[in-house]
Structure 1
Amino acid sequence: MAIHSGSTQIASTTRRSGSREAIVDAAHRLFLERGFGAVRMDELAEAAGVARRTLYNQFANKEEIFREMLLRVSRQLETAFPPGVETQGGVEEVLRLIARVILDLHKSPEYLGFLRMVVADSRQFPWIAEELAVVMNPQTERLVRFLAHLTSLGVLNCRNPTLAAHQFMGALNDLSLWPWMLGRPRLPVPDDEVIEATVQMFLKYYQSAPIKESRS
């Protein structure tokens, strides 16, 4: 009896977990197709293939489902930017590695779909963009700290590490992320070329000698 009871409990937990995943998958599809505000909970239950009661046992409202989707994005970022990335070689090697990670993320349909949904719905639901920023900002701050640290060592000359970090990411986003978001083709340039050009352009400016102020 103990074995049977344990097996039943495991099966029940698995079903609950499967239902939860199915609901989030359905929400991802419907939110992207129609927008967060246009989708009703009943429609999510039908799309996920679960009973309405099952849906409400898992999530009290759409906001909770959105936050579960956000957890997926957070896990993607944590996997893409594991601890210690900043120590994987010299400045050029690390910048190339970070650039590669960013471009690889831009190839994830789930990641891109989530970003597109947030952009589309954030005007009506500003909290969506705010909660995404809470997840995204720590990764940007890691790059800022990395650039600030190298500046303190004299390797780089980033007077404003935050500006420098956004310039580096912005160059990559403009070539890879925004074309997809706007539904236009990206430049037919291989990733290796994009990465090398971006890193060298960045270093050409930020490894330059600091400008000395003239004294009267």
Structure 2
Amino acid sequence: MSHQSAKLSTAIRQPISAVGRAIRAFDAACSWSIANPLPQPGQSGDLARYASVCVSTGREMRVMLVQAVSVSPGLHKPQSVRRRRGCGRAVILDVARRLLRERSLDGLSMELVAQEAGYTRRTIYNHFASVTELFEVSRKSLIAGLEPLVPNAITSRLPMTLALSRFATQASRLFADDRHLDLMLSAIRDRHASSWIANAYDTAIQRPLSDALIAFLDEAQAAGSFNGNSRSAAFQLLWTLQAAATSTSIFNSADTGARSEPDAIVRAFLMQHHHPDAMAA
């Protein structure tokens, strides 16, 4: 086989392998979340920690998702960064975000950012005192852009199925947003190097979602239309929605047959937990 043929063969195998990992991660997520409630109902609502204990067939799903997102060729296309007068800080942040899709905080350096941005190191340091500050500003900008997308309440004035479907659709759009994928990767991958990122992700994204869903399910349980532990059920639904949305984003496919629609996930969830008379409500 020629050198060019070998490169082509490798280029073909890589996306297939990435999609395969995503499929396995999604399938494992759905089956694991149904079989296993939240281990400690009293803990803070943290989907990243919940995901970190999800183990299926000897594989850690958290690692599978990170690997699938990180290496998927179709998820983040490389962008050329040109030096633009008067917007150096924006260019630097854009470069940092792109680099952090491919590496952890430990693998980021001011020299690398300067090289990719087409600036000198002095210019980078004029805007950011350290790589840690650059990382924090980059991640906080993602959080600021995502917070308006977080559904933090579920109306009880609608039928239960419709109310949950609307919430699930909004949550799925949030989970599938490229900025959320970037932030999720950092919260999982960089939580030891930068402890604040996991807490910030939990406070801004995960906790409002889980609090809204738990409050809604508690109210439904009091009304006799929901059975089960509201907290464990909320985490089960949120994790399944996140796994499905992440897989859909990795596939980046217009084929609706390859997607798990939020409505279908909600109906399956309610079939497991609803009171026998609640589906018609």
Q: Which amino acid aligns with 2:214?
A: V
Moved over 4 A (4+): 82-85, 123-127, 178-181
Cα distance per residue 1:135-180 (max 9 Å; x no partner): 222322222222223323333234x222111111122233332576
Tell me the percent identity. 25
Q: Say which of 26, 30, 51 aligns to 2:95.
A: 26
Which residue of the partner structure matches residue 111 of structure 1? 180
Preserved contact between residue 157 and residue 208 of structure 1 (Cα < 8 Å) = yes
Structure 2: 5+ residue runs without aligned partners?
A: 1-84, 277-281
Alignment partners' CA distance in 2, 1:206 and 1:161: 10
SS in 1 for 2:214: helix
Is 1:168 the counterpart of 2:237 in the alignment? yes
Tell me which residue corresponds to 1:91. 160
Match for 1:27: what amino acid? A
Matched, 1:197 2:264: yes
Question: 2: CA distance between counterparts of 1:123 and 1:156?
Answer: 38
Conserved? CA contact 2:217–2:226, under 8 Å: yes
Residues 218 and 230, structure 2, Cα contact 8 Å, conserved in 1: yes
Instruction: Determine which structure has greater relative contact order: mean sequence separation of CA pairs < 8 Å that are 6+ residues apart, divided by chain length.
Output: 2
Q: Distance in 1 between matches of 2:104 and 2:130?
A: 15
Answer whether contact 1:157 1:207 (CA < 8 A) is retained. Answer: yes
8 Å CA contact 1:28–1:114 kept in 2: the answer is no
Aligned residue for 1:39?
Answer: 108
Q: Aligned pair in 2 of structure 1 residues 63, 146: CA closer, same or farther (>3 Å)?
A: farther
Equivalent position amino acid for 1:206 in 2: H
Instruction: Indicate the structure (1 or 2) with the bigger Cα radius of gyration.
Output: 1
Normalised to the residue count of structure 2, the TM-score between the two structures is 0.55
The answer to which structure has the higher helix fraction is 1
The yes-or-no answer on 1:206 pairing with 2:273 is yes
Residue 97 of structure 1, CA deviation: 1.5
Unaligned runs of 5+ in 1: 1-13, 210-216
C-alpha distance 162-25 of structure 1, shift in aligned 2 (>3 A): same
Q: How does 1:14-163 map onto structure 2 within 5 Å?
A: 15=86, 18-82=87-151, 86=155, 89-122=158-191, 124-136=193-205, 137-158=207-228, 160-163=229-232
